[in-house]
């Protein structure tokens, strides 16, 4: 019997993540029978390449999904809220990269290295959510430690690339960097402050508790993915002038006694993780090395000498790939292999 192939749609195909989704489908040889590339009316008629063919971009509407088996969405939360239900009504399964559905109890929130079996919950709404980019790379590194030693508390600070905000933010960092070097006026439209040569402790909107929405995503999504409401997480999320690759300083307190060498040995054999940790030779994970790759890199693994069962580590991954497109396509692969 010929292997099954699927009619696939990418909503937000012209964006930073959408383009990477198209590349991931190609690179991973996803069994695509047909592909629809969807974006706003602004992009209608643009042509993008898929597997050597030019495909014309069409407008995303309620009627885009007839005959589509799997739709990968990355066109913003409002667009997902509006169009994912229509896709589901057409019998299509949506894998959504926005934050719109992540905390819905009827929508699985999946990182394939951590909770692949959660995909089984998709029939309730026909939607599966892809977690926040910073959360994905953190739980890939945390889950093996949680399974072995039990994690009590996590304190994380992030150093997040501008590509997470989209193509306009990549252009803004490029333009501002050039303007500063050429001594011309710095223009800003995406971020409230200059991002070039700066750090902004502000990602997504501020909430009533003083945290940003991005910080609270890391708290709530971590608990949902790792299926443990007792894990305490506190986060400070910072945008830095890096194009691709989020970095995170992660401090962990475990329930059982643990040592840095045990954590390194455990992570060496954990799925999706590569330990890069030879500080004597200046070797540790860097966003410029992680860019374009699909693994989560962990280094600077140290005992936290200030508490009994504590570990510090530095976690880096490509936010557009593992943090978004790759994780989405991995979820689609599980759907195709086990459910559709």
Between 36 and 55, how does the x/- string for binding to ligand A2P read (CB under 6 A)?
---xx-xx------------
The single residue of 24, 92, 126, 133 carrying the catalytic annotation is: 133
Hey, what are 174's tokens? 């490029």
Out of 6, 8, 9, 16, which residue is the one contacting ligand A2P (CB under 6 A)? 16
Closest by CA position to 271, among listed 141, 104, 161, 156 = 141
Hey, what are 265's tokens? 């040995």
Q: Residue 287 in 3-state DSSP? A: helix
Size of the site for ligand A2P (CB under 6 A): 17
- 130: contact with ligand A2P by CB under 6 A: no
Closest by CA position to 107, among listed 89, 86, 125 = 125
**Terminal alpha carbon distance of the chain:** 16
Q: Which stretch binds ligand A2P (CB under 6 A): 72-80, 124-132, 143-151, 171-179?
A: 72-80
**Shortest reach from residue 60's CB to ligand A2P, in Å:** 4
Indicate the residue among 167 and 240 with the shorter CB distance to ligand A2P.
Answer: 167
- 144: contact with ligand A2P by CB under 6 A: no
**Shortest reach from residue 14's CB to ligand A2P, in Å:** 4
Closest by CA position to 39, among listed 23, 57, 22, 63 = 57
Hey, what are 143's tokens? 């889950």
Contacts of 269 (CB under 8 A, 6+ apart): none
CA distance 87 to 110: 19
- 166: contact with ligand A2P by CB under 6 A: yes
Is 133 one of the annotated active-site residues of the chain? yes
- Interface contacts to ligand A2P, rule CB under 6 A: 12-16, 18, 39-40, 42-43, 60, 75-76, 79, 166-168
Return the active site residues: 133, 246
């Amino acid at each position: 019997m010929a292997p099954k192939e699927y009619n696939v749609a990418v909503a937000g195909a012209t964006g930073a993540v959408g383009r990477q989704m198209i590349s991931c489908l190609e690179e991973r040889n996803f069994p695509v029978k047909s592909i629809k590339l969807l974006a706003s009316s602004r992009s209608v008629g643009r042509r993008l390449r898929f597997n050597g063919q030019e495909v014309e971009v069409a407008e995303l509407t309620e009627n885009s999904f007839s005959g589509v088996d799997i739709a990968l969405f990355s066109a913003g939360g409002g667009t997902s809220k509006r169009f994912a239900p229509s896709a589901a009504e057409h019998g299509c399964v949506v894998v959504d990269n926005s934050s719109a559905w992540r905390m819905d109890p009827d929508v699985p929130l999946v990182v394939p290295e951590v909770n692949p079996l959660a995909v089984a919950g998709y029939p309730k709404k026909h939607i599966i959510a892809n977690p926040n980019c910073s959360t994905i790379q953190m739980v890939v590194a945390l889950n093996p430690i949680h399974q072995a030693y039990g994690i009590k508390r996590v304190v994380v600070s992030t150093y997040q690339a501008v590509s997470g905000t989209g193509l306009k933010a990549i252009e803004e960092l490029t333009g501002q960097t050039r303007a500063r070097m050429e001594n011309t006026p710095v223009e800003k439209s995406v971020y409230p402050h200059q991002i070039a040569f700066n750090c902004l402790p502000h990602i997504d909107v501020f909430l009533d508790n003083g945290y940003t929405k991005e910080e609270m995503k890391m708290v709530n999504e971590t608990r949902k993915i790792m299926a443990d409401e007792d894990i305490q997480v506190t986060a400070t999320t910072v945008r830095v002038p890096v194009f691709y690759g989020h970095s995170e300083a992660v401090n962990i307190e475990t329930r059982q006694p643990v040592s840095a060498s045990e954590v390194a040995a455990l992570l060496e054999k954990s799925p999706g993780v590569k330990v890069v940790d030879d500080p004597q030779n200046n070797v540790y994970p860097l966003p410029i090395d992680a860019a374009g790759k699909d693994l989560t890199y962990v280094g600077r693994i140290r005992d936290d000498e200030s508490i009994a069962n504590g570990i510090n580590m530095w976690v880096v991954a490509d936010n557009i790939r593992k943090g978004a497109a790759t994780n989405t396509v991995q979820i689609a692969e599980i759907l195709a292999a086990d459910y559709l």
